[in-house]
């Protein structure tokens, strides 16, 4: 299992106290996607959208990586081949847990973006609609997160990584949002062994050869332990 590609979603950060999206009390039960996670929503009401991401940024700033994030960092360090994490999460818990090779396909809460000149910088804890871009001084700044209707980041790197993967794992994602929801099927067709690690079967479970269900903080360290044991 030389090349390992791991897709992560909100479920891996749930035990760090960050809310998921589609659970009964998830973020999308409390906020309308159209209002807070689309370019149109931001145009209609930037104050509301900044408020939503400011609150998430403040919550994420207090969160600590859990045993699942740390186990993936250990895998990157101790596995003899490559380990790539593709995360849909906008928190920085993979990096805080020690992972280095991470693609944030839906952007980062800690990033700010000017949609006039595309300059990027570290976001302040609180963003407002009157913030100026430090490069062009326009007040066209937004959180550097990918909204519905926008193209995810890193696609040029993700496609070849899926094609080259010997092992593909999806952790803590409900399999509802594309393109990530198709990565299991894609990697399997291209020859990878596929494993889903999630609290419960996801909408994409049938695309995976191996299924492991339970809380990420338990099942991910167990899985990593097995992978590292098998390589010796
Ligand atoms: P979801 O909220 O859709 O799914 C979270 C998954 O994690 C569910 O299948 C849960 O069963 C599972 N889960 C919950 N707690 C868990 C735990 N302790 N251990 C393991 N699994 C657990 O979140 P995502 O699939 O990440 O995009 O959502 C994908 C995208 O939809 C997000 O990146 C976001 C959202 O809309 C944008 O905002 C563009």
Whether the predicted pLDDT of 1 surpasses 80: no
Q: Quick one: 56 and 87 in the same domain?
A: no
The answer to whether residues 157 and 199 belong to one domain is yes
Query: How many A from CA of 2 to the centre of ligand 1?
Result: 27
Q: What is the pLDDT of residues 72-126, one digit of tens each?
A: 999 999 999 999 999 999 999 999 999 999 999 999 999 999 999 999 999 999 9
pLDDT digits (tens, 9 = 90+) for 178-231: 999 999 999 999 999 999 999 999 999 999 999 999 999 999 999 999 999 998
Regarding whether 201 and 133 lie in a shared domain, the answer is no
Assess whether 163 and 212 both reside in one domain.
yes
**Ligand 1, CB within 6 Å, residue ranges:** 9-11, 14-15, 20-23, 26, 37, 88, 106, 146-148, 172-174, 176-177, 198-200, 202, 215-216
Q: Distance between CA 38 and CA 148 in Å, rounded?
A: 5
Nearest residue (by CA) to ligand 1, atom 39, is 147
**What is the mean pLDDT of the segment spanning 5-27?**
95
Residues 5 and 23 in one domain: no
Do 205 and 119 belong to one domain?
A: no
How large is the average pLDDT for residues 137-154? 97
Q: Are residues 137 and 156 in the same domain?
A: no
pLDDT given for residue 157 in this prediction: 98
* Residue 106 annotated as catalytic: yes
User: What does the pLDDT read at residue 25?
Assistant: 87
232 and 136, same structural domain?
Answer: no
Pairwise CA distance, residues 127 & 146, whole Å:
16
Atom of ligand 1 nearest to the CA of 9: 26
Tokens encoding 14 = 């749930």
Q: How confident is the model over 153-166, as pLDDT tens digits?
A: 999 999 999 999 99
CATH number of residue 41's parent domain = 3.30.1600.10
**Following DSSP, what letter does each residue of 56-102 receive, concatenated?**
HHHHHHH----HHHHHHHHHHHH-SS-EEEEE---S-HHHHHT--SE
pLDDT of residue 114: 98
Pocket test for ligand 1, best of 172, 197, 208 (most atoms within 8 A of CB): 172
Predicted local confidence at residue 231, as pLDDT: 87
Domain hosting 132: range is: 19-62+111-145
- For residue 8, the domain's CATH number is 3.40.50.1220
Number of domains in the chain: 2
88 & 193 share domain: yes
Are 72 and 167 part of one and the same domain?
yes
Give 29 Cα–ligand 1 centroid separation in angstroms.
13
């Amino acid at each position: 299992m030389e090349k390992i590609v791991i897709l992560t979603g909100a479920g891996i950060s749930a035990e760090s106290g960050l809310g998921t999206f589609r659970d009964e009390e998830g973020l999308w039960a409390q906020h309308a996607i159209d209002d807070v996670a689309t370019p149109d929503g931001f145009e209609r009401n930037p104050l509301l959208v900044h408020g939503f991401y400011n609150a998430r940024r403040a919550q994420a700033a207090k969160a600590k990586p859990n045993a699942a994030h740390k186990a993936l960092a250990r895998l990157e360090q101790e596995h003899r081949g490559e380990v790539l994490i593709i995360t849909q999460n906008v928190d920085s818990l993979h990096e805080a847990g020690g992972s280095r090779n991470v693609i944030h396909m839906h952007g980062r809460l800690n990033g700010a973006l000017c949609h006039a000149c595309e300059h990027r910088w570290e976001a302040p804890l609180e963003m407002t609609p009157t913030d100026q871009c430090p490069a062009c001084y326009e007040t066209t700044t937004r959180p550097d997160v990918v909204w519905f209707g926008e193209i995810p980041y890193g696609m040029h790197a993700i496609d070849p990584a899926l094609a080259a993967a010997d092992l593909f794992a999806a952790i803590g994602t409900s399999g509802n949002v594309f393109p990530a929801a198709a990565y299991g099927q894609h990697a399997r067709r291209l020859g990878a062994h596929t494993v889903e690690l999630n609290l419960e079967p996801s909408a994409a479970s049938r695309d995976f050869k191996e299924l492991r269900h339970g809380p990420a903080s338990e099942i991910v360290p167990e899985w990593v332990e097995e992978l590292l044991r098998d390589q010796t």
